[in-house]
Amino acid sequence: MPSLSEAYHSHPVEVHHHKHPDFKSLQELPDSYAWTHPEDHALAINTTSSNFGSVPVIDLSDRNATRLIGHACRTWGAFQVVNHGVPLSLLDHIQWVGQTLFSLSTHQKLKATRSPDGVTGYGLARISSFFPKLMWSEGFTILGSPLEHFQKLWPQDYAKYCDIVVEYDETMKKLAGKLMGLMLDSLGISKEELKWACPNKGPLFKDTCGALQLNSYPTCPDPDRAMGLAPHTDSTLLTILYQNNISGLQVHRESTGWVTVPPIPGALVVNVGDLFHILSNGLYPSVLHRVLVNRSKQRFSVAYLYGPPSNVEICPHAKLVGPTRPALYRAVTWNEYLGTKAKHFNKALSSFQLCAPKNGLFDVNESHKNSVQVG
C-alpha cells in the first residue's frame, strides 16, 4: 500500500504532545476538551430535526439503486446501504475487535502507539493538530497488516484479531469496488471509461488502496461541550462506515445544518470523499461530517477509507467536462493530495481548484470551509 504510507511518512502530522488520556478516570470535562463555554449553547443545539429529511437509505438489491445513489450523492454526499452483502456476523466481529482493543488499559494501548510518521497504530485523530481543543475519542488506524501492532496488544492470541481484520478489509474492498461502479454509473460513466479501474488482469478496481480506522467515543461527563470528532471531509474516493447502535454521527448540509445519521442495524454509511468530488467535477460534494458524544453509552465505529492506486492521477472525468462545464480541478494523486491536506488542511481541495464554479452550479468552496481528514 505505498500511496498512503508514503504520504504519511513524507508529511507527518504534528499531533500535540500531551499524555494520552484515560477517559474513564475523568469525572469532569477538562478545559482542554471543552469546545464551548458553560454559558454557550450546547454543540448539539445546531442539529436540525428529521423534518428536514435524513440521509437516504438505499437497498443495493433495488433495481433503481444507481439512480437513487446518484440522487443521494448529489444532494447529500452520503447515503446508507442495506442488502450490501456483508455478513452481519462480520460486522459484529469487527466491532468486537474495536471494543476489545479500546477496553485494554491505557498502558497496554500505548504499547501499540502510532509512530509520528507512521500510519498503523493507536492514537489521536490526525486532524487533532489543526484544532485548539482535544476531541473526546480514541482511534486505531490499520494500513496493511496489523500483525506487528496486534502482537504488542495481545501477545498470546493476536492471530484471531488479525484474521477478522483481514477478512473485513477484503470484504470492504469488494463492496467499495461495487459502490464505485454504481456511483460512476450514476454519472453516466462506465467502468471501462475509467482506465485505472480495469487492469489488464484480474478483477475491477483490483489495485485500489484501503485503510481501516477503528474509532471509540467513550462516555463523557459533559457531552454538550465536547466534540467526538471535529467537522471534516474524508480525503478518499469514498468511505464505508460501520457504526454501532449509538448515534453521534452527523452530516452537514448547507440548506439545513447538522443532521444526525441514525444507526440502522446492519446498515453501512457511505461518504463521498474529496477525490470522488474531484472525479465528479464537483457534481458530488464530499460530505462534511462530525461526531458528538453522550453521557451514558460508549460509541464505536469502523471506517474503511478507500482510494485509488498510488500511481493514478485523479481528475475530473472527460465525460463531465465540456465547453459549458470546464474542469474545476487539476489532476492529483492520492499521495499528493494527502500531503497537501497534512499541510493546508481545509484549504487542500481549493488549492487544486482551477476555476470557480459558475452560477452556483458547483458550490465547491462553501462545502469545504471546515476541516478535512483522511478518516
Ligand X SMILES: O=C(O)CCC(=O)C(=O)O
Active site residues: 299
237 touches ligand X by CB under 6 A: no
Cβ atoms 127, 232 nearer than 8 A: yes
Among 7, 78, 135, 249, binds ligand X (CB under 6 A): 249
**Min separation Cβ 352 and Fe ion, Å:** 19
Q: Contact at 8 Å (CB) between 221 and 295?
A: yes
The number of beta carbons lying within 10 Å of the beta carbon of residue 229 is: 26
| Cα–Cα distance, 27 to 55 (Å, whole number) | 35
Kindly state the number of chain residues that form the binding site for ligand X, as judged by CB under 6 A.
13
Closest chain position to Fe ion (CB): 234
Position 289 contacts ligand X (CB under 6 A):
yes
Q: How far is the CB of 4 from ligand X (least distance, A)?
A: 14
Contacts of 67 (CB under 8 A, 6+ apart): 186
Nearest CB to Fe ion, comparing residues 234 and 274: 234
**Residue (245 or 311) nearer to ligand X, CB:** 245
Residue 335 burial by CB count (10 A; 0-12/13-18/19+): exposed, middle or buried?
A: buried
Is residue 177 within 8 A of residue 309, CB to CB? The reply is no
Q: Identify the H or E element spanning 320.
A: none
Half-sphere exposure of 322 (CA within 13 A, CB side): 3
Q: Does 291 bind ligand X (CB under 6 A)?
A: yes
How far, in whole angstroms, is CA 154 from its chain's centroid? 27
Number of neighbouring beta carbons within 10 Å of residue 52: 11
Helix (H) or strand (E) holding 234: strand 229-234
CB of 47 to ligand X, least distance (A): 15
Pairing between β-strand 121-123 and β-strand 288-291 as defined by DSSP bridges: unpaired
Under DSSP, is residue 270 helix (H, G, I), strand (E, B) or coil? strand
C-beta of 68 vs 249, nearer to ligand X: 249
Q: Are 213 and 303 in contact (CB under 8 A)?
A: yes
| Number of residues engaging Fe ion in binding (CB under 5 A) | 2
Least distance (Å) between residue 201 CB and ligand X:
33
Q: Which is nearer to Fe ion, 119 or 162 (CB)?
A: 119
For cell 492470541, what's the residue? 157
Which residue among 94, 165, 251, 303 contacts ligand X (CB under 6 A)? 303
Min CB(327)–ligand X separation in Å: 27
Instruction: Return the residues of window 233-252 that contact Fe ion according to CB under 5 A.
Output: 234
Is the Cβ of residue 300 or residue 329 nearer to ligand X in the bound state?
Answer: 300
Interacting residue with ligand X among 124, 220, 241, 315 (CB under 6 A): 241
- What is the DSSP code (8-state) at residue 299? E
What cell numbers appear for 67 in the block? 439512480
Of 323-352, which residues contact ligand X (CB under 6 A)?
A: none
260 touches ligand X (CB under 6 A):
no
Grid cell at residue 161: 484479531
| Region 175-234 residues binding ligand X, contact defined as CB under 6 A | 213, 215, 229, 234
Q: Does 274 bind Fe ion (CB under 5 A)?
A: no
Q: Which stretch binds ligand X (CB under 6 A): 46-54, 128-136, 147-155, 241-249?
A: 241-249
What x-and-dash track marks residues 11-50 binding ligand X by CB under 6 A? ----------------------------------------
Nearest to 80 by CA among 284, 281, 204, 249: 249
- Residues in touch with Fe ion (CB under 5 A): 234, 375
- Residues in touch with ligand X (CB under 6 A): 213, 215, 229, 234, 241, 243, 249, 289, 291, 301, 303, 373, 375
